[in-house]
Amino acid sequence: MARAAHPSNQPRYVAVARRLQQEIAAGTHPVGALLPTETELCESFGVSRFTVREALRSLRELGLVTRRQGSGTQVIAADSQSTFSQSLASITDVLQYARDTYLELDDGARTTARGELARLLGCASGRTWLRFSGLRRSGVDGDPICLTDVYIDPDFGGIAPRIGTQSGAIYELIEEDYGIRFAEILQQMSAVVLSDGQAETLDAAPGSPALRIVRRYLGPAGKALEVTVSIHPADRYSYAMRIRRDSGDAAE
């Protein structure tokens, strides 16, 4: 087993998980078989036990493997389940998520922010934004993960022709073309139900539960330069977050 290559901006466990996922899909580790032990995987990939455990956790979240107490990690599926599992802890993770999925957007149009939309975008009423709408898929021909509306500050409208023509996050285009570095993303999640139109586009049941995620990409002085609103059917998406105790917290 060759060591997993990993770009400098990609966590090691992601590279290991991807390699194992490829090997499972290729039949190197068939359904019903046990994966190599953690020690063997550490040696094969040249990584720590923590990295291997995080990679195996990712495979479990994809529904590819299960942990058998006392016997190891067993392959239970060759292809990932339709539910898309996302774990974000940094802006780098957001970028990786964008590269691992496919965003299919329309040509975009200008929209004037008033009322609730102005509050959502955190701008004065009457300000014009660029709006792009479409689907995010698990791959070019994959199942839809969510409906997405992307709002771009019009000062960065020069990136419009490039949106939808390459992989990666849209905020990356702003950084490349305008020399602005995003340092923070604010994320809000809420439970909603799918409208008839949303359900039809997503091939889901009208009125079924969904997760609404709003991300505000903040530039200098905390100003939102890009805002995305995504609607995920509940049975196709899960969100994982690791919470650690601060070093100064007292044990209970």
CATH of the domain at 219: 3.40.1410.10
The three-class DSSP label of residue 188 is strand
DSSP string, 116-176: HHHHHHTS-TTEEEEEEEEEEESSTTS-EEEEEEEEE-GGGGGGGGGTTSSSS-HHHHHHH
- Paired with 84 in beta bridges are 237
pTM of the model: 0.66
- Single-letter code of the amino acid located at 179: G
The total number of structural domains in the chain stands at 2
Structural domain boundaries, residue 102? 84-240
Same domain for 90 and 24, yes or no, is: no
Q: What is the reported pLDDT for 87?
A: 60
Q: What is the reported pLDDT for 46?
A: 94
Q: What is the reported pLDDT for 8?
A: 44
Same domain for 66 and 111, yes or no, is: no
Q: Which of 75, 93, 118 is where one domain is finished?
A: 75
Query: Token match 């091939």: residue?
Result: 203
Q: What is the reported pLDDT for 217?
A: 93
CA 63 to CA 155: how far, in whole Å? 43
pLDDT lower than 50: segments of the chain: 2-3, 5-8, 251-252
Please check whether residue 250 lies inside any domain of the structure.
Answer: no
Q: Which of 31, 55, 75 is where one domain is finished?
A: 75
Same domain for 105 and 156, yes or no, is: yes
- 90: DSSP letter: S
Please check whether residue 251 lies inside any domain of the structure.
Answer: no
Q: What is the reported pLDDT for 77?
A: 82
CB contact at 8 A, 23 and 34: no
Please check whether residue 174 lies inside any domain of the structure.
Answer: yes
Q: What is the reported pLDDT for 70?
A: 75
Q: Which two three-digit tokens encode residue 100?
A: 């691992």
Same domain for 63 and 116, yes or no, is: no
Same domain for 120 and 236, yes or no, is: yes
Q: Tell me how many degrees the CA angle 73-78-82 measures, rounded to the nearest 5.
A: 105
Q: Which of 56, 75, 94 is where one domain is finished?
A: 75
Q: Which two three-digit tokens encode residue 80?
A: 């990932």
